[in-house]
């Protein structure tokens, strides 16, 4: 990939890049809708990345190119305005440039820029965080600034929340920034605090992306967020992370049916994240897998953010040899299922799952196989 991006940079900009960076996508491993409740989450940085190459210009122009769009977009360094239409992908690097200033750092003036990627976009693997972090590292290299990793992560999140306008939590950028091969990233969202937890090298990930999306997904997210906050209030805590399982059970008759279910999901899910961290120390992936599937059941029955498509895949995978566990990954209401498998699970088994899915739902899910990979870095 390094040769590929250097060659492309030469083709587009007629010279060699000065700096090359990369940042990986991520999988939500366990911890569903725990982030905005102040809870914990485990994520995996994957071995697919967005790569960015840059070189400084002295004329105050910024020239952006990506294999994603195939066209150069040229802007004066004086302009940091949200783009629409074909050029809208540059809102990610532009958002990072704007965020650098918010964090009292310098933004580079003119530069040539190229992004290439082997990370599918819009597949729930957070290519957006990857392009933010790879861009952030490239801009910091151009300006010879060295803030800590947590600042880089926060710059990426700020760009996405405030410039692009997507209210994502800290998981996406945190895992892309703090990821490590053969590890998971543990995030305590309240700090936030970041840590890594070893993951046996035999762990394999398979993603089945259904490309289904509930028509009301934005409204449903907002409704779940509101229900969680209302449940916390009824329980007399600021955020659900502060409630115990016993407290939730004791309040079962006073809470509305939905408030009870949402609170139980969040409190149990946070406990499952802690349990997963403990079990990972023993390296028993089957036990970790059971927690993943239990997480899905909780999403299905308590948080009610699953769909028949996702449930079908989890049922089918959980009953398949060499699969440790499976769950919906990401916000839910459609999207993708992740399976944690041993190396013995291969393409033939994955294709059989996809065929069964297609027989029932009429379309094949996309299949992606990956392992863990290192977090964002200058290459």
Catalytic residues: 172
Question: Among residues 64 and 260, whose Cβ is nearest to ligand ADP?
Answer: 64
Residue 68 interaction partner, one of Mg ion, ligand ADP, none, beta carbon < 5-8 Å per kind: ligand ADP
For residue 72, the minimal CB distance to ligand ADP (Å) is 13
Distance of alpha carbon 164 from alpha carbon 101, whole angstroms: 16
Kindly give the pairing relationship between strand 377-378 and strand 111-117.
Answer: unpaired
Please say which residue, 32 or 126, places its beta carbon nearer to Mg ion: 126
Q: Are 63 and 79 in contact (CB under 8 A)?
A: no
> Which partner in Mg ion, ligand ADP, none is near 306 (CB below 5 to 8 A by kind)?
none
Token pair belonging to 179: 């990821």
Options 29-37, 118-126, 180-188, 253-261: segment touching Mg ion (CB under 5 A): 118-126
Stretch that binds Mg ion, among 103-111, 126-134, 264-272, 351-359 (CB under 5 A): 126-134
Least Cβ distance, residue 132 to Mg ion (angstroms): 9
135 contacts Mg ion (rule: CB under 5 A): no
Cα 19 from Cα 149, distance rounded (Å): 18
State the minimum distance, in angstroms, from the CB of residue 229 to ligand ADP: 24
> With binding defined as CB under 5 A, does residue 329 bind Mg ion?
no
Specify the stretch interacting with Mg ion by CB under 5 A; choose among 53-61, 73-81, 127-135, 292-300.
Answer: 127-135
Q: How far apart are CB 70 and ligand ADP at their closest, in Å?
A: 10
- Choice between 130 and 231, CB closer to Mg ion: 130
**How far is the C-alpha of 286 from the C-alpha of 291, rounded, in Å?**
9
Rg (CA), the chain: 21
Residues in 208-227 at the binding interface with Mg ion, rule: CB under 5 A: none
Contact between 128 and Mg ion by CB under 5 A: the answer reads yes
Residue closer to ligand ADP, measured from CB, 170 or 288: 170
CB of 198 to ligand ADP, least distance (A): 26
- Residue 23 binds which entry of Mg ion, ligand ADP, none, CB below 5-8 Å type-dependent: none
**Shortest separation between residue 371's beta carbon and Mg ion, angstroms:** 21
**Residue 263 interaction partner, one of Mg ion, ligand ADP, none, beta carbon < 5-8 Å per kind:** none
Min dist. Cβ of residue 169 to ligand ADP (A): 13
In the shown chain, the binding pattern of residues 72 to 111 toward Mg ion, with x for contact by CB under 5 A and - for none, equals ----------------------------------------
* C-alpha dihedral (95, 226, 191, 101), degrees to nearest 10: 20
Which residue number, 122 or 200, has a Cβ lying nearer to ligand ADP? 122
Q: Which residue is nearest to Mg ion (CB)?
A: 128
Q: In the 3-class helix/strand/coil scheme, how is the chain assigned residue by residue?
A: CHHHHHHHHHHHHCCCCCEEEEEEEEEEEECCCCHHHCCEEEEEEEEEEEEEEEEECCCCEEEEEECCCCCCEEEECCCCCCCCHHHHHHHHHHHHHHHHHHCCCCCCCCEEEEEEECCCCCCCCCHHHHHHHHHHHHHHHHCCCCCCHHHHHHHHHHHHHHHHCCCCCCHHHHHHHHCCCCEEEEEECCCCEEEEEECCCCCEEEEEEEEEECCCHHHHHHHHHHHHHHHHHHHCCCCHHHCCHHHHHHCCCCCCHHHHHHHHHHHHHHHHHHHHHHHHCCCCHHHHHHHHHHHHHHHHHHHCCCCHHHHHHHHHHHCCCCEEEEEEECCCCEEEEEEEECCCCCHHHHHHHHHHHHHHHCCCCEEEEECECCCCEEC
- 17/124 with CB nearer Mg ion: 124
Residue 50 touches which member of ligand ADP, Mg ion, none, C-beta under 5-8 Å by kind: ligand ADP
Distance CA 115, CA 277 (A): 35
User: Interface with ligand ADP by CB under 6 A: which residues?
Assistant: 50, 66, 68, 89, 92, 115, 117, 121-128, 131
| Cβ-based nearer residue to ligand ADP, 69 or 202 | 69
**Residue 122's binding partner, choosing from Mg ion, ligand ADP, none, with beta-carbon cut-off 5 to 8 A by kind?**
ligand ADP
Q: Name the site residues for Mg ion (rule: CB under 5 A).
A: 126, 128
């Amino acid at each position: 990939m390094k040769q590929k991006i250097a060659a492309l940079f030469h083709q587009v900009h007629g010279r060699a890049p000065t700096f090359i960076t990369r940042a990986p996508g991520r999988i939500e491993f366990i911890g569903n809708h725990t982030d905005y409740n102040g809870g914990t989450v485990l994520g995996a940085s994957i071995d697919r990345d967005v790569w960015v190459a840059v070189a400084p210009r002295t004329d105050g122009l910024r020239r952006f190119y990506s294999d994603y769009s195939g066209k150069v977009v040229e802007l004066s360094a004086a302009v940091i305005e949200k783009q629409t239409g074909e050029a809208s992908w540059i809102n990610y690097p532009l958002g990072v440039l704007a965020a650098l200033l918010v964090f009292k750092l310098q933004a580079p003036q003119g530069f040539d820029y190229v992004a290439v990627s082997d990370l599918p976009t819009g597949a729930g693997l957070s290519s957006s965080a990857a392009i933010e972090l790879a861009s952030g590292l490239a801009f910091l290299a151009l300006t010879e600034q060295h803030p800590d990793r947590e600042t880089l992560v926060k710059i990426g999140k700020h760009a996405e929340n405030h410039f692009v306008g997507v209210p994502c939590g800290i998981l996406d950028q945190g895992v892309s920034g703090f990821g490590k091969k053969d590890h998971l990233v543990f995030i305590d969202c309240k700090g936030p605090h970041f840590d890594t937890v070893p993951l046996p090298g035999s762990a394999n990930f398979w993603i089945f992306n259904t490309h289904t999306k509930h028509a009301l997904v934005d409204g449903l997210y907002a409704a779940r967020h509101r229900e969680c906050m209302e449940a916390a209030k009824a329980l007399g805590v600021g955020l659900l992370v502060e409630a115990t399982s016993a407290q939730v059970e004791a309040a079962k008759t006073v809470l509305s049916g939905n408030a009870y279910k949402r609170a139980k999901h969040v409190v149990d899910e946070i406990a499952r994240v802690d349990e997963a961290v403990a079990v990972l120390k023993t390296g028993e992936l089957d036990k970790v897998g059971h927690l993943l599937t239990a997480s899905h059941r909780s999403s299905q029955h308590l948080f009610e953010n699953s769909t028949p498509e996702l449930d079908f895949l989890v049922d089918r995978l959980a009953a398949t040899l060499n699969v440790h566990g499976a769950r919906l990954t990401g916000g839910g209401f459609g999207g993708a299922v992740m399976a944690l498998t041993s190396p013995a699970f291969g393409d033939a088994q994955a294709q059989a799952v996809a065929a069964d899915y297609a027989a029932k739902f009429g379309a094949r899910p996309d299949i992606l196989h990956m392992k863990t990979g290192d977090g964002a870095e200058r290459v």
